[in-house]
Chain A
Amino acid sequence: MSDVQHHHIKLPEGSIEKQTTTLNLGPTHPATHGVFQNIIELDGERIVSAEQTVGYIHRAFEKIAERRPLYQITTLTDRLNYCSSPINNMGWHMTCEKLLQVKTPKRVDYLRVIIMELARITDHLICNSIVGVDSGAYTGFLYVMQYRELAYEIYEEVCGSRLTTNMGRIGGFERNFTNAAFEKLEKFLAEFPNVWKEFENLFSRNRIFMERLIGTGAISAERALNYGFTGPNLRAAGVDYDVRVHQPYSSYEDFDFVVPVGNTGDNYDRFLVRGKEVWESLSIINQAYQKVQAFKGAEAEVYHADVPEYYLPEKKDVYTKMEALIWHFKIIMGEIEMPKGEVYHSVEGANGELGFYLISDGGRAPYRLHFRRPSFIYYQAYSELTKDAMLSDAIMTMSSLNLIAGELDG
């Protein structure tokens, strides 16, 4: 009887002699927003090699962008790193501003800084709390999530949407911040520090957590640079490169903040660097809010640059003013042509340098648009980071790198 059964099972050649096990980690369900696949060779629980497969949610943004007028590209940038889409939106608008040579008023810069730092906080709190979840501690994730909710309510007050924000315009914002937005911001600034303190108390010096993270997924500064790491992952390895400091945009030079660095580049340092950056972001928001409050009179009402040919006018003006109606029509119909030129602009995204390389041939849509997506660039180091690691450490490494599939695939 058993002989007959064996006859039907066909094993791939060499599979009996093979000393290692092949494990397919993923692909996960597309609805989970992160379709990762890793083909891992395991010797017991130890990883011999890992091969990553990406591209499951590739949407050809770069191709689509070649036919779209500038404002229709903002919605594409939303879907890169969707944990901090306002940074992507503003990065894109600033790229356009650079090409179109639009100068933004200081108040716009400070309002942008507030939103971008809020986005950085929401991104880092997701990443750090997910590291907790993956190590078996769910509480922190649920606890900080209510403050992501509050941050999303602030976005909602500013632009009307939450996750894929499509926020802002070339030259500024679509409307002034409402009082409700500032009230919610004040609530956030008053309550969140205590929550983040508690979250850090729960994890940072927790012995079980430390033993899971210290020494796993480490990378040296030299290798990290060679791999093109940027953002918190590079800083955790000890390199203090931050686009906000090195090539300030949106008046970041007016703010006083520290760039936290680690030294071992392991999962624990990445966790700590992100934790510290949240504190710095809170300090930046506080400073920016004070600066915004210092504007008086007419200056306190400024929320966009005076560039009617690029700034999509407010709807109520479109309905009541001839001028606004004309510009609205021209911008929406894509009759506004860009000057010729090529421009690279980058912002410090929540997980690294997010770059926009835009080539314009003078038409209504870019001739070529390339996104430098930090996740895509540093994910290739994953096999080096996990070599000889335990399988469970590889999971931690993946979450502490803060990989966002939307940004990976573009």
Chain B
Amino acid sequence: MALTNEIIQQKLTEKFGDQVGNFQESFGMLTFEAPKEQNLKVLQFLYDDETLQFTFLTDLCAVHYPDDKGRELAMVYTVHNLKANIRLRFKVFTDIQTPDIFTASKLFEAANWMERETYDFYGVNFVGHPNLKRIMNVDEMDYFPLRKEFPLEDQTRIDKDDEMFGRG
């Protein structure tokens, strides 16, 4: 029997009960969330279960929602079952004061750099990561630039001497 979003949802609810929730289907891809302490357990279950077999980590990134107090940072995992050819999106939310999330790099080597990138830009602290340091920005940087509190430069500013680049 082909693996469908309904079966995935049923399997997850059987295993985790109330812990998993907010199931949604967006453009055909099932999305759900779990508490952040459960992230590894859920990923491991998705990986190991014989019918689910989500053994390929396609993508991992963070999203910042500054207005959602206590759930400011979302970690989004996109996993893929290559045999049944079905994708799944899994989210965990964390507050921004203690953005500790267990690393998935033990399960997926691919997560290593993706988590470093997420740490670099959003400051998510991946507990247990073998080498959690900045990857794109300089090591001395002391802020996380993709968070929403850092706006892009005002395009109408006039105080800057930028003649060489066509402004000013």
- From B27, B76, B78, B82, give the contact of A239 (CB < 8 A): B82
Per-residue contact bits, chain A 219-251, to B (CB 8 Å; 1 contact, 0 not): 000010111100000000001010000110000
CA distance A134 to B91 in the complex (A): 43
Measured CB to CB, the nearest residue on chain B to A229 is: B110
Residue of A66, A246, A342 most packed against chain B (CB within 10 A): A342
Which of B26, B109, B137 counts the most A-chain CB atoms under 10 A from its CB?
Answer: B109
CB of B8 closer than 8 Å to a CB of A? no
Is B27 a contact partner of A98 (Cβ separation < 8 A)? Answer: yes
A376 interfacial by beta-carbon distance below 8 Å: yes
Instruction: Compute how far the CA of A349 lies from the CA of B59 in the bound complex, rounded to whole angstroms.
Output: 15
**8 Å CB interface, B107-160 against A:** 108-110, 112-114, 117, 121, 135-137, 145-146, 150, 152
Q: What chain B residues lie within 8 Å of A99 (beta carbons)? A: 27
Q: Chain B at the A interface: mostly helix, strand, loop or mixed?
A: mixed
Partner of A54 from the list B57, B135, B146, B150 (CB cut-off 8 Å) is B135
How many residues of B are in contact with the other chain, CB < 8 A? 33
Please determine whether B135 and A344 come into contact, CB atoms closer than 8 angstroms.
no
Size band of the interface chain A makes with B: 35 or more
Given contacts A226-B108, A344-B29, contact A63 B59 (CB under 8 A): no
Q: Which of B29, B56, B136 contacts A55 (CB 8 A)?
A: B136
| Cα distance A368–B63 in the bound complex, in angstroms | 7
B58→A372 contact, CB < 8 A: yes
- Chain A stretch 343-377: residues in CB contact (< 8 A) with chain B: 343-344, 346, 353, 355, 357, 359, 367-368, 370, 372, 376-377
Question: When the two chains form their complex, are residues B61 and A370 in contact, meaning their CB atoms are under 8 A apart?
Answer: yes
Q: Which residues does chain A contribute within 8 Å of B85, judged by CB atoms?
A: 246-247
Query: Within 8 Å of chain B (Cβ to Cβ): is A60?
Result: yes
- Return the chain A residue nearest B150 by Cβ: A63
Residues in A neighbouring B11, C-beta threshold 8 A: none
Instruction: Please state if B146 and A62 are interface contacts (CB–CB under 8 Å).
Output: yes
Q: A58-B137, A376-B113 are in contact. Are A359 and B63 (CB under 8 A)?
A: yes
A381 on the B face (CB < 8 A):
yes
Q: Which A residues are closer than 8 A to B by beta carbons?
A: 54-55, 58, 60, 62-64, 66-67, 98-99, 223, 225-228, 239, 241, 246-247, 341-344, 346, 353, 355, 357, 359, 367-368, 370, 372, 376-377, 379-381, 409-410
Closest 9 CB pairs of A and B: A228-B110, A55-B136, A370-B61, A58-B136, A372-B59, A380-B113, A227-B109, A368-B63, A226-B109
Interchain Cβ contacts under 8 Å between A and B, 26 examples: A55-B135, A64-B152, A99-B27, A226-B109, A226-B110, A227-B110, A228-B58, A228-B110, A239-B82, A241-B82, A246-B85, A247-B85, A341-B26, A343-B26, A343-B27, A344-B29, A344-B89, A355-B58, A359-B63, A367-B63, A368-B64, A372-B59, A372-B78, A377-B113, A377-B114, A380-B109
